[in-house]
Amino acid sequence: MKNILDKELLKYYIDKYKVYEIFHEDIIDEVILCFYEIEETILEPESNLQYYYLLVDGKIKVNYLFENGKSRLLKFYNAFITIGDLELLKDLPVRCQVEVVEESYFILVPVSLIKEKYTHLNFFRHLAESLSDKLDATINNSSYNSTYPLINRLSSYLLEYLKPDKDYIVLRNPFKDIAEFLGTTYRHLNRTLNELEEKQIIKSNQNKIYVLNEEALRDLSKKSYMRSLL
């Protein structure tokens, strides 16, 4: 994490996402703009939430960690999204691990400042809308997992990692974890990857997946899975 002291950039993000409609000026004056690199961890489970996070540029993923040390990928998020709604509202420890997928900028709002000064109705409306949107997206993705074949679910997963200026994807999660996230077995995942290769849609080389036909991959994804909250 690196603090960014560029006030013009901070103002740009505040204006772009109308942060002033969520927080009063006295709180906006105290926020911090931070930059996170790829694979950097933002939040760890069971830690205390010290900041309320506003993702204003980039992409993150949320993992749920189990007591046995295993983890499950729950969701991808693009800007604009807020992190820490439930923990802030219910005064709970952090529930999930949050990691950066693409280089990202966050506006950090001190939780202590929110608790000390905040009674602004717009903020509580924002919390309600944010939690509602996340619940809706979770239901959408869960329904997709139980409805569509693996080839559709896998196509959507791959597209989440595809950057606009690249024709390949580097999978940073083990295939076993990807299979668990997609609700399938390791063998079925491998068979489906082979099927996509046979259709000349992708070409795999260990953890690097080359996209040979992005249009076909998007058609298979149904353009709905893992939808971002914008």
pLDDT tens, residue by residue, 81-137: 898 888 888 888 998 889 998 899 999 999 888 888 765 667 777 777 777 777 766
Report whether pLDDT(70) > 80.
no
What share of the chain in percent tops pLDDT 90? 33
How many other β-carbons are positioned within 10 Å of the β-carbon of residue 32?
A: 15
Give the Cα separation of 128 and 137 in Å (integer): 14
Does residue 166 surpass a pLDDT of 70?
Answer: yes
Both structure tokens of 208: 């690097």
Three-state SS for 129-176 is HHHHHHHHHHHHHHHHHHHCCHHHHHHHHHHHHCCCCCCEEECCCCHH
Total count of residues recorded for the chain: 230
- In the predicted structure, residue 224 carries a pLDDT above the cut 80: no
pLDDT digits (tens, 9 = 90+) for 18-51: 998 888 888 898 999 999 998 899 999 889 999 9
What is the mean pLDDT of the segment spanning 144-170? 82
Domain range 2-144, CATH class? mainly beta
Question: What are the pLDDT digits (tens) for 168-190?
Answer: 888 776 787 788 777 788 899 99
Query: In the predicted model, what is the mean pLDDT of residues 61-88?
Result: 80
CA dihedral defined by 142, 146, 151, 157, rounded to 10 degrees?
A: 10
Both tokens of 122, joined, read: 């717009």
Most confident of 2-11, 67-76, 140-149: 2-11
Paired with 36 in beta bridges are 104
Indicate the SS3 state at residue 218.
Answer: helix
What is the structure's pLDDT at 225? 46
For domain 148-220, give the fold: Arc Repressor Mutant, subunit A (1.10.10)
Q: Hey, what are 136's tokens?
A: 């809706």
5 burial (CB, 10 Å; 0-12 / 13-18 / 19+) is exposed
pTM of the model: 0.69
The yes-or-no verdict on residue 229 having pLDDT over 60 is no
- Alpha carbon distance 68, 36 (integer Å): 28
The whole-chain average pLDDT of the chain stands at 83
Lowest mean pLDDT across 78-87, 128-137, 157-166, 211-220: 128-137
* Same-fold call for 2-144 versus 148-220: no
Q: What pLDDT does 207 receive?
A: 79
Residue 180: both structure tokens together: 């668990």
- Least confidently predicted of 1-10, 140-149, 186-195: 140-149
pLDDT at 226: 45
Give the residue extent of every domain in the chain: 2-144, 148-220
